[in-house]
Structure 1
Amino acid sequence: MSQPSQPLQSISGHCLCGKVGMKSSSGTLHAEVCHCGMCRKWSGGPYLAVAAGTEVTFSGEEFIARYSSSDWGERGFCKNCGTHLFYHLKPTGQYIVPAGFLDQEQQLELTQQIFIDKKPAYYAFSNETQNLTEEEVFAQYAP
C-alpha cells in the first residue's frame, strides 16, 4: 500500500485490551482502503489501514497470533481480545496496521483504495483517492 514519497511519521497503537502495543518510526498518516475479498472477510468490511513501514516494534509479543494468509502475507491479531493488529508483507518486512488501531487515528487522511474492481456495490467512499485495480496492485507490489 502506501507511496514511498509520503513523509515518514512516528506512529503508535494498541489493541482493545491493551496487552499488545505497537510503535513505528517509519509509518505514514495516510489511510488506505483494501477491497480484496480476503481483507473484507478478515475485517468484516473494507480494510482501512495505514502503512507502518518496516521499523516496527511490538510489546506483548506473547499475545500476538499470526496467520499466514498467503505466500507473501501474514495477518496478526491479539490472542486475548481478538483485535486485528497487522497485515505483514513477508518479502519486504512491511507492516500495514488497521487505521482504528492507531493513537493518531484523528490525524489520518484517506488517500488510496486498492482492489477497487473487487469492491462490492453496497458501499462507497466519497473521498477522492488514487484507485488501483487488482491487476495494477499486483503489477506494483507483487514480489
Structure 2
Amino acid sequence: MSEAGSDLSGGCLCGAVRFKAVIAKHEFGACHCGMCRRWSGGVFLAVECESLAIEDESALGIYRSSDYGERGFCKTCGSSLIWRMQDGSAAVVSYQALDKPTGFTFASEIFIDDKPDVYGFANPTKKMTGAEFIAAFAGEGT
C-alpha cells in the first residue's frame, strides 16, 4: 500500500490522458454537488493531491465550471479525471481513474445537503454541507 506523499499514477479509459499525482492523504471523499453529479454521471469520488502532473496535456480538455474551479476530462473518451482551482492552489483526481485504487479509506462526503435522497453510503464518513465545506476551504487561505 502506498502512503500519503507517494506517487500514484492514473488515466482515462482510452489511455490518451495519463497523470502522476502525489497524494495528500491515503483517503478519498465523495462530492454530492449537482455539478459533480452531472459531470461524473454519479457521485464524484476524489483524492486530494499535493501535486499533479499530466503527461500529455494535448488530450486533456478543461471546462471552467465556476469562477474559481475547472474540471479536466479526456477529449477522446470523455473520462472525468480532475477538479482543480484555476489558480493551481488545489487539485483532486478521480479515485476511479487511479491505476491501483487499493488501501484507501473512504473518509468524507461534501455537499451532503445536495445529495439526492435515493441513495446513501453506509461508511462512517465526515459529512459537510456545501456551506460548511466552502467555509472550511476558504479558511485554508485558498
- What TM-score, normalized to structure 2? 0.89
CA offsets 1:33-65 (integer angstroms, 9 cap, x no match): 001111111111111111123x21111211001
Is 1:61 the counterpart of 2:57 in the alignment?
A: yes
Is 1:82 the counterpart of 2:82 in the alignment?
A: no
Query: How many angstroms apart in 1 are the aligned matches of 2:34 and 2:123?
Result: 21
Q: Report if aligned partners of 2:4, 2:22 keep a CA contact under 8 Å in 1.
A: no
Q: Shift of residue 19 of structure 1?
A: 1.3
Residue 103 of structure 1 is matched in structure 2 by 99
Q: Give secondary structure in 1 for the equivalent of 2:77.
A: coil
The percentage of counterpart residues that share the same residue type is 39
Counterpart of 1:50 (choices 47, 52, 55) is 47
Query: How many angstroms apart in 2 are the aligned matches of 1:25 and 1:137?
Result: 23
Q: Shift of residue 92 of structure 1?
A: 4.7
* Gap runs ≥5 in structure 2: none
Is 1:112 the counterpart of 2:119 in the alignment?
A: no
Counterpart of 2:22 (choices 20, 25, 45) is 25
Q: Shift of residue 85 of structure 1?
A: 1.4
Query: How many angstroms apart in 2 are the aligned matches of 1:91 and 1:82?
Result: 24
Q: Report if aligned partners of 2:29, 2:46 keep a CA contact under 8 Å in 1.
A: yes
Amino acid at match of 1:122: V
Structure 1 moving runs of 4+ over 6 Å: none
Q: Give secondary structure in 2 for the equivalent of 1:106.
A: coil
Residue 36 of structure 2 is matched in structure 1 by 39
- What TM-score, normalized to structure 1? 0.88
* Gap runs ≥5 in structure 1: 1-5
Query: How many angstroms apart in 2 are the aligned matches of 1:15 and 1:41?
Result: 18
Q: Report if aligned partners of 1:115, 1:132 keep a CA contact under 8 Å in 2.
A: yes
Q: Shift of residue 16 of structure 1?
A: 0.9
The count of aligned residue pairs is: 137
Query: How many angstroms apart in 2 are the aligned matches of 1:63 and 1:7?
Result: 28
Q: Report if aligned partners of 1:11, 1:52 keep a CA contact under 8 Å in 2.
A: no
Residue 125 of structure 1 is matched in structure 2 by 121
Q: Give secondary structure in 2 for the equivalent of 1:105.
A: coil
CA offsets 1:100-133 (integer angstroms, 9 cap, x no match): 1002312221000001111111110000011111
